[in-house]
Amino acid sequence: MNLPLFPLSTTLYPGCPLDLQLFEPRYLDMISRCLKQGSGFGIVTIFEGREVGAAPSQLGEIGCEAIIKDWQQRSNGLLGIRVEGGRRFRILDTDVQRDQLVIGEIEWLEEPGERPLTARHDDLVALLSALVDHPMVTALNMKGDASGQQALGYQLAYLLPFEPAEKIELLSLSDPGERLDQLHALLSTLQE
C-alpha cells in the first residue's frame, strides 16, 4: 500500500492528537486529496533532514497514520489541521516526488487487543493524570485515557520527552505490557 508521508521531528501515536500548520504547496495538495478521498496520511519521524524544504534523507522506519479530525484557516493565513493517530505502519520503501512529497510503500502493523491495567501500573496512571493538567496538553484536549495498557503506553510515550530513537522504539513495540516496562526503564534514566 502507498501512503503520502509527512515527516516531522515529532512522533505520533495511535489515539493521540496533533495540531499542524500547513504552508508548503506539497502538503496543502496532500491534505486536499486526503479530504476529498476521506483518507489519512502517514506521520514519520525525521532522523536526518528538516521539516521544510527538500525531503529529509533519513526517516524512522515505523510511523503512524494521521486521521484528519478538524481543519480551519488560521488568522496568520495558514491552514491549521488537527489529526489523531490511527494505525501504526512500517515503511518498506519510499519515493520522493518532484515536489518533494515523500510517498511510502507501507505495511500496517498488527494491534493486539487492549489489556487491563494492574496495580503495578499505578505510578504510570498517576503520571499521565499529572501530565494532562499541563497547559500544552490541555490545549490538545487530551483527557488522559488510562482505560488500558495500550492507551496508557501510547499517551505517555507521546507526551514524555524521550529521544527520537526511543520514541520510535516505543512505537514499534506490539506488546502493550512490554511498552509499559520500557517506559518504566526510560523514566528511571530520566530521573538519574
Cell 527520537 -> residue:
164
Nearest CA among 105, 79, 104, 68 for reference residue 22: 79
pLDDT at residue 54 tops 80: no
Q: Which residue has the higher pLDDT, 11 or 138?
A: 11
The answer to which of 22-26, 36-40, 56-60, 62-66 has the lowest mean pLDDT is 56-60
User: pLDDT tens digit string along 72-123?
Assistant: 888 887 889 999 999 999 999 999 999 999 999 999 999 988 999 999 999 9
Q: What is the mean pLDDT of the chain?
A: 92
Average pLDDT over every residue of 120-135? 92
Handedness of CA 156, 158, 164, 169 (dihedral sign): positive
Delineate the domains of the chain, giving CATH numbers in brackets. 2-108 (2.30.130.40), 119-190 (1.20.58)
